[in-house]
């Protein structure tokens, strides 16, 4: 389902704020971009529009982690030159590359199903159930994690496992940041370190998804329409600003707090969505 040029500025601003708040918090941006329009009786913006405004989140995460990314790139090149494949930056870069493969493969396979009008994968019942299940899994991860490892300990195996968890987030309601944070915690990472790895791992996936959908929108003539461009611009700017603030807040928060607030929110959100869907309050 492609974005509709009729999306208003108010809708675009609202969706951009929702995207920014929920992309990096472990509560599912896709779910909220599906549920919020339903609550407000707006049309579903669709996978394509949602993916494009994710580019605002990409700009934010690049800006926040620019020094980290530059250091990883320089360190990896130096490690390759010196044939030091145990180097921390080389291992981290490798983990990010390995972890990106599952979502790229599954994303291409599931793309036609996700973009179908009325796709079962975007149903409110799926979103509600996924939110509850992932909330329970985050609860388990919080309880069993040793919270001792850092990014200095990251390996290719960690990248593969967290990457598989990231691929699960193709199901609306699972949350990309939530699934990767959960797996990283299960692997023993400290909370703030798990969040940082989740953000770094998400950069390639979110970037590729947004650029791919933007290309499709250009081909379908939906970018170039003045209303469409204005709405996209508003959505992108609001998404960028709010995403940056959300990243900074979450990392600081997890340095001193656990994830129980997100567990509780996910369980409540999922239950409310299921109730409203089953009673016909939202569709």
Dump pLDDT digits (tens) for 200-255.
999 998 888 778 777 766 766 555 555 567 888 898 999 999 999 999 999 999 99
Is residue 283 in a domain? Answer: no
Task: Report the pLDDT averaged over residues 45-53.
Answer: 73
pLDDT band of 142, cuts 50, 70, 90: very high
Q: What is the pLDDT of residue 221?
A: 59
Number of domains the chain contains? 1
What is the span of the domain harbouring residue 248?
9-278
Please give the residue that has the higher pLDDT: either 218 or 263: 263
Task: Report the pLDDT averaged over residues 143-156.
Answer: 96
Q: What is the pLDDT of residue 194?
A: 97
Is residue 2 in a domain? Answer: no
136 vs 254: CA distance, rounded Å: 19
Q: What is the pLDDT of residue 163?
A: 96
pLDDT band of 3, cuts 50, 70, 90: very low
Q: What is the pTM of this model?
A: 0.90
26 vs 23: CA distance, rounded Å: 8
Identify the top-confidence range among 40-44, 52-56, 183-187.
183-187
Query: Quick check: 2 pLDDT over 50?
Result: no
Percentage of residues of the chain with pLDDT beyond 90: 67
Alpha-carbon distances, residue 134 vs 23, 49, 61, 240 (angstroms): 15, 25, 23, 26
255 vs 230: CA distance, rounded Å: 38
Q: What is the CA radius of gyration of the chain?
A: 18
Q: Is 255 helix (H, G, I), strand (E, B) or coil?
A: helix
Per DSSP, what are the bridge partners of residue 189? 149
Query: Quick check: 130 pLDDT over 70?
Result: yes
Dump pLDDT digits (tens) for 64-89.
999 999 999 999 999 999 999 999 99
90 vs 216: CA distance, rounded Å: 34
52 vs 65: CA distance, rounded Å: 21
Task: Report the pLDDT averaged over residues 257-266.
Answer: 97
Is residue 1 in a domain? Answer: no
Length of the chain: 283
Is residue 3 in a domain? Answer: no
């Amino acid at each position: 389902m492609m974005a509709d040029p009729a999306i208003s500025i108010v809708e675009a601003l609202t969706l951009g704020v929702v995207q920014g708040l929920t992309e990096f918090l472990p509560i599912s941006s896709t779910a909220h971009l599906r549920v919020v329009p339903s609550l407000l009786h707006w049309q579903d913006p669709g996978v394509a529009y949602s993916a494009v405004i994710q580019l605002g989140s990409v700009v934010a995460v690049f800006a926040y982690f620019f020094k980290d990314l530059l250091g990883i790139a320089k360190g990896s090149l130096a490690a390759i030159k010196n044939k030091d494949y145990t180097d921390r930056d080389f291992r981290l870069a490798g983990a990010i590359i390995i972890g990106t493969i599952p979502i790229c493969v599954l994303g291409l396979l599931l793309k036609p199903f996700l973009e179908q009008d009325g796709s079962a994968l975007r149903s409110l019942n799926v979103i509600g159930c996924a939110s509850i299940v992932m909330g329970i899994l985050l609860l388990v991860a919080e309880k069993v994690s040793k919270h001792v490892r850092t990014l200095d300990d990251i390996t290719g195996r960690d990248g593969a496992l967290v990457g598989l968890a990231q691929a699960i987030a193709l199901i609306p309601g699972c949350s990309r940041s939530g699934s990767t944070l959960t797996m990283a915690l299960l692997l023993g990472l400290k909370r703030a370190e798990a969040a940082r790895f989740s953000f770094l791992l998400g950069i390639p996936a979110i970037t590729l998804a947004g650029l791919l959908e933007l290309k499709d929108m250009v081909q379908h003539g939906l970018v170039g329409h003045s209303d469409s461009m204005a709405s996209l611009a508003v959505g992108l700017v609001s998404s960028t600003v709010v995403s940056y603030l959300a990243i900074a807040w979450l990392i600081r928060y997890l340095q001193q707090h656990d994830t129980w607030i997100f567990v509780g929110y996910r369980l409540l959100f999922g239950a409310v969505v299921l109730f409203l869907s089953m009673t016909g309050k939202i569709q």
